[in-house]
Structure 1
Amino acid sequence: MNQQVAIALRVSERSVERWRRAWRERGKARLLSKGSPGGPRLGQAQIARLERELERGPLVHGWTDQR
């Protein structure tokens, strides 16, 4: 099952194993992102450009699906 999840999410099986263990041991709250440990490294103009590109979606950038 981990292999199918890893393939679907395009991550390693090891990541899926860690996520499952964290969920099993500590519940859903353990899976929530803690955010970046540091401040943003991009300037405001770069962040604005990144947001515009993200809004265009993955298909525009050569990905085969919307993940």
Structure 2
Amino acid sequence: MLERELAKGLVAHGWPEQTWTLSRIGTLIGRRFHKSYTVQRVAALFKRQGWSCRMPARQAVERDENVMASWVKETWPQVEGPWRRSTPGPSSRTKPDSR
């Protein structure tokens, strides 16, 4: 029954995109069968049935390499944060006063 529901497509179930994710499948299971499945449990269920996770065969038409490169160069360093502390930390993580 789940395979039939998946074959109807995402639009039939209220999602605008055409990519099934484990999270969306878990939500569909909850809506249709009134069962609560975690993402890990959905993945295990599909693996048992012989399914596998697949990446799209082609890149999205909307993909813009220049915008992505700009984001990585300008925005990502701010999101990632500094690699090292600005001040030395304690020598022991369990006993901060052990210096």
Structure showing greater radius of gyration is: 2
Greater fraction of residues in helix = 1
TM-score (norm 1): 0.38
TM-score by length of structure 2 reads 0.29
